[in-house]
Structure 1
Amino acid sequence: MKILRYILLPVVPIYFLITWLRNKLYDLGLKKSVSYNFPVICVGNLSVGGTGKSPMIEYLISILKDEFKVATLSRGYKRKTEGFQLANKNSSAETIGDEPFQFYTKFNNDIYVGVDVDRQNGIQTLRNLEDSPEVILLDDAFQHRKVKAGFNILLTTYHNPYFNDMVLPTGNLREPKRGSKRADIIVVTKCPNDLNQAKKNAVINKIKAKGNQHVFFSSIMYSDVVISANSTKNINDLKSFCLVTGIANATPLVNFLNAKNLQFEHQNFSDHYNFTEKDILELNKKELIITTEKDFMRLKQYESLKETLFYLPIKVKIDDELKFNSLIKAFVKKH
């Protein structure tokens, strides 16, 4: 794959020009972008792959849901339905996608969870509900410029920041680095827990934030327990298990488990992987399976895994969270 990316290096200027021109047309108003008179917050990234969008959406839900009626709107990647779908008790990962299903499972009736490839239609449909949401969180919509969110949160990982990358197909950027200037907040995610101020300052200097932009750092906090459909286990009590992941980057999770000196084999699948009957037959042979919460949403439908399948919850910890929370709530209340 790496060799192929280098072979495709001559394509990079073409991709760069196309995405740059598209953004320029939106910036100049030559391509139409719809804005709204109520709070719409976009969470996204410049890079393909996992930067921690789902945990960030869940963090925003947690700080807003007690004061406001919140809705999330996602594309519903790899779902088997079309058009707008609103999560309900009959929903599954197949009908709305694994990440939206995770939001609905975790927060249930506290929020609305909608999916629609057409974000404009999705926003309008949510607002037309009888008890319409006051705040809409757009999941992975930074490049969806037909919608102009009132507030943009851009995520980039500490170990693979956008400022050290280039556009596709040789790099991982969906658009040129200058796209970061559209963000109101830039969050450097998946930081090591021992990150000191000097290292933070080095990153801030490379980001070169504008005067109206704020930079934050966040890390992943793993739970002490793993959870199944009907029980929990302390992670430190696990003897050996099979780790199953279908996410963009499983390295932080693997490193966390290795640091605990746990014994496990790792079956690593592609992001949003649709498990086959053959996969499930193989997993049925395992005495204990640990997976991510997102993968659990796709695997829990199999009755044969009910007793052996557990997931490890995670949450986001943000440095200076009081300031971060204050910025988010101030935007919502103002609009």
Structure 2
Amino acid sequence: MRKLALYPLSLVYGFVMSVRNWLYDLKILKSVDFDAPVISIGNITVGGTGKTPHTEYLVRLLKSQFRVATLSRGYKRKTKGFLLVQTQSEVTDVGDEPLQVKKKFPSVTVSVCEDRVAGLNQLFALEASPDVVLLDDAFQHRRVTPGLNVLLIDYNKPLRDDHILPYGRLRESPRQIRRANIIIITKCPGEITPITRRIMAKEVFQFPYQQLFFTTMVYGQLYPYFPEGQPMDLFTDTSRMGILLVTGIASPEYVVEHVKKLSQFVDTALFPDHHYYTENDIQLILQKFYRLQGTRRILITTEKDMVRLTRHDLFTVDVKSSFYILPIQVKFLDREGKLFDQKILEYVGENKSNRELHIRKSRDKV
């Protein structure tokens, strides 16, 4: 009944978003177009569609050939304005996902700014300005016109069954999918049939100018976070280990399912997405850890949680020696990764050249 009471609000919110999009489409509300490669990675729903692993995929693809920067609003940070993220930044100052990316790719410029236009202007004004900027969670941020719009949609949460916020999970009408250049169906099973592909293409209202890709999540080898930890490959059998999974991410069910395959003794400590762990949370985690059954106790968390969990120096030595990170990456299905890579590299290469030509012409005029 409470959920049903949100339906009128959903109608109002949907109407407001439709009017807003209509004003941008008619150019009554202005959008800024930059002369450098800007790639937006976003979604049309709230909740986890895998933005950070897909952003990291793009960073890996581009960083060997181009100067790459990322720009995020820095969700839940306690600061304002434009900031360059450093590996030693406080998670409360910059947000968990930007700090995660910076720690994994120290040579990449990672920045946060709630005003994306101002943030992009700051980045392109840097002495070592980026060749390409990856905009995080910017599909609805229409003040910027990205050169390439990448939209992520969760395979397991069909849009046909969904509604506009707050009654459902949709941020705007599914018709707005037309703004995307590339659509990626994320979190797919390892294999999908041609019939399923055609059904999904119809469900996301794919237009001829849009390219559709499918990805799945791949969980990597557990690795110790603290120096006290031993590499997991020293332990050949995890089936009788006591495992505590600690995570505060959107849609944790996929990680839970994976970890439960590792052992018959698994407990969980689940928190809201982007949750800043308190001292009381750490005490609860320690209690659960010491109650674990099994031949050896270990604690597993994600890379995103790691930057929030480890800001407290409250873990005992034996917990630190048993503290492991579960890396998550994306994999394109049916060898489509090469086609996706080619499209991204071509877009960045061509537009980088155009910008350099524009800069040279501007200097010549001076």
TM-score w.r.t. the length of structure 2 is: 0.87
1:281 and 1:260, CA in 2 relative to 1: closer, same or farther beyond 3 A?
closer
- Measured in 2, the distance between the counterparts of 1:179 and 1:304 equals 46
1:31 is aligned to: 29
Paired residue for 1:295, among 300, 305, 309? 305
2:292 is aligned to: none
- Superposed displacement of residue 11, structure 1: 2.1
Between the aligned residues of both structures, percent identity stands at 40
1:241 is aligned to: 243
- Measured in 2, the distance between the counterparts of 1:264 and 1:63 equals 35
- Superposed displacement of residue 236, structure 1: 6.3
Is the radius of gyration larger for structure 1 or structure 2? 2
1:99 is aligned to: 97
User: How do residues 79-228 of structure 1 correspond to structure 2 at under 5 angstroms?
Assistant: 79-109=77-107, 111-228=108-225
Deviations along 1:155-179, whole A, 9 cap, x unmatched? 0000103343221111100111111
1:312 is aligned to: 326
User: Structure 2, unaligned stretches of length 5 or more?
Assistant: 290-296, 352-366
- Measured in 1, the distance between the counterparts of 2:345 and 2:53 equals 18
2:256 is aligned to: 254
User: Structure 1, unaligned stretches of length 5 or more?
Assistant: none
Paired residue for 2:276, among 256, 274, 277? 274
- Measured in 2, the distance between the counterparts of 1:121 and 1:222 equals 36
Deviations along 1:281-331, whole A, 9 cap, x unmatched? 222342532111100111122333333432100100012001111111111
Given that 1:204 and 1:215 are in contact with CA atoms closer than 8 Å, whether structure 2 keeps it comes out as yes
Paired residue for 1:327, among 333, 339, 343? 343
SS at match of 1:23: helix
User: How do residues 60-79 of structure 1 correspond to structure 2 at under 5 angstroms?
Assistant: 60-79=58-77
SS at match of 2:232: strand
- Measured in 2, the distance between the counterparts of 1:89 and 1:166 equals 39
- Measured in 2, the distance between the counterparts of 1:263 and 1:199 equals 36
- Measured in 2, the distance between the counterparts of 1:77 and 1:264 equals 31
1:166 and 1:289, CA in 2 relative to 1: closer, same or farther beyond 3 A?
same
- Measured in 1, the distance between the counterparts of 2:190 and 2:347 equals 29
Given that 2:87 and 2:102 are in contact with CA atoms closer than 8 Å, whether structure 1 keeps it comes out as no
Given that 1:224 and 1:236 are in contact with CA atoms closer than 8 Å, whether structure 2 keeps it comes out as no
**Runs ≥4 residues deviating over 6 A:** none
Given that 1:46 and 1:162 are in contact with CA atoms closer than 8 Å, whether structure 2 keeps it comes out as no
SS at match of 1:304: coil
Given that 1:44 and 1:140 are in contact with CA atoms closer than 8 Å, whether structure 2 keeps it comes out as yes
User: How do residues 43-62 of structure 1 correspond to structure 2 at under 5 angstroms?
Assistant: 43-62=41-60
- Measured in 2, the distance between the counterparts of 1:199 and 1:88 equals 43
- Measured in 2, the distance between the counterparts of 1:164 and 1:325 equals 32
- Measured in 2, the distance between the counterparts of 1:307 and 1:79 equals 30
Given that 2:219 and 2:328 are in contact with CA atoms closer than 8 Å, whether structure 1 keeps it comes out as yes
- Measured in 1, the distance between the counterparts of 2:219 and 2:45 equals 24
SS at match of 1:289: strand
Between stretches 176-185 and 197-206, larger displacement belongs to 197-206
- Measured in 1, the distance between the counterparts of 2:112 and 2:262 equals 38
